Amino acid sequence: MVIHCFMMAIITLASRKAAEGINPYMVCAMVHLFALIMSSSWLQRSGFTLPKTTRWKTYLLRGITGTSSYILFVYGLTQMTMADVSAIFFTSPLFGVIIALLCFKEQATFVRIFALAIGFVGALVVIQPGSVHFNAASLAVLTGAALYGGAHISVKMLTRTDSANTISLYTKLFMGAISMPIAFFYWQMPTNTQLLWAILVAVCWNIALYSMSKAYEYTEAVIVMPFQFTRLLFVVILGAIFLEEKTTMMTVIGSIIILVGAVFAMRGESKRLKGTHEAL
Task: Give pLDDT tens digits for 170-191.
Answer: 888 899 999 999 999 998 999 9
In the 8-state DSSP scheme, what is residue 55? -
Give yes or no for residue 200 having a pLDDT over 90: yes
d(CA 176, CA 181): 9
Whole-number pLDDT of residue 160: 80
Measured CA to CA in angstroms, residue 214 lies from 10, 194, 207, 218 at distances of 19, 31, 11, 6
More confident of the two residues 121 and 243: 243
Give yes or no for residue 278 having a pLDDT over 70: no
d(CA 89, CA 45): 36
Whole-number pLDDT of residue 220: 53
User: If phi over 0 gives left and psi between -120 and 50 gives alpha, with beta otherwise, what is residue 130?
Assistant: left
Which residue type sits at 168?
S
Whole-number pLDDT of residue 23: 95
Please list, residue by residue across 6-36, b when 16 or more beta carbons sit within 10 angstroms of its beta carbon and e when fewer do.
Answer: bbbbbbbbbbbbbbeebbbbbbbbbbbbbbb
Whole-number pLDDT of residue 273: 46
Give yes or no for residue 235 having a pLDDT over 80: yes
Contacts of 68 (CB under 8 A, 6+ apart): 144, 147
Lowest-confidence pick of 55-64, 74-83, 244-253: 244-253
Domain positions in the chain are 2-279
pTM over 0.85: no
Whole-number pLDDT of residue 52: 87
With CA atoms as reference, report the closest residue to 16 among 208, 247, 238: 238
Task: Give pLDDT tens digits for 151-171.
Answer: 878 887 887 888 877 888 888
Give yes or no for residue 266 having a pLDDT over 70: no
Whole-number pLDDT of residue 11: 94
Whole-number pLDDT of residue 105: 66
Find which of 139-148, 214-223, 259-268 is predicted with most confidence, using mean pLDDT.
139-148
Whole-number pLDDT of residue 223: 53
d(CA 5, CA 189): 31
Calculate the average pLDDT of the chain.
80
Contacts of 139 (CB under 8 A, 6+ apart): none
With CA atoms as reference, report the closest residue to 88 among 72, 103, 101, 102: 72
Task: Give pLDDT tens digits for 32-45.
Answer: 999 888 877 766 77
